Amino acid sequence: MADLNQHLKLRNTPGGVITSSAFTYAVKFYDFAAVKFPELKQYPPDYRCTLHQAAIIVATLIQMERHTAGEGARELHDNVSRAFPPPARHRCLTAIQDLTAILIATDRAFIPPEHIPSFADAAGVDDKKLQGAVGEWLARSITKQPELAPADLPLAAAMGRSAWTSAVMIVRVLKNKNKR
């Protein structure tokens, strides 16, 4: 029972703000994208939103590590990991770890369960390159294609921009909360 209510206790913490805001932004993206990218409707909403939420969370954590020069990153990552509702925790953390392994060029098998590694190696990478990598991962993961066709590139770019821009908004909210 304690684990069931843990995410409720953490909802106003930075990790809770990140996880819930990322979910909200992911849902809004697919509401918006339904017109421009109708092919997305063929993929289950829970699946694509989970992946997009994970991408937004990773983008947020990268930007936060940049902002704080890595200070407090371990605590923030742990807070994010615990802030998911129990039914969503495993699938969201798995997606976060899959994307993280690609961005920091590590073997996914070496990431412990419920752990989010440091993004110090990715924090120095150019925003556009990270945005592109996030979008490509999202598009490949949602479509379950090992490679993207040229027709999929606009979709990947839109998803990458969405994840990165959503992360910028979340970081602003967190910075404003810290000023109070």
95 and 141 in contact (C-beta within 8 Å)?
Answer: yes
Q: Rounded CA gap, 100 and 118, in Å? A: 9
Q: pLDDT tens for residues 75-110? A: 999 999 999 888 888 999 999 999 999 999 999 989
The overall average pLDDT reported for the chain is 89
pLDDT score at 156: 94
pLDDT higher than 80, residue 5: no
pLDDT score at 88: 87
pLDDT score at 1: 44
pLDDT score at 53: 97
pTM as predicted: 0.92
pLDDT higher than 80, residue 15: yes
Q: pLDDT tens for residues 107-127? A: 998 999 889 999 988 888 999
CA angle 10, 58, 67 (to 5 degrees): 85
pLDDT higher than 90, residue 175: no
List the chain domain ranges. Answer: 2-179
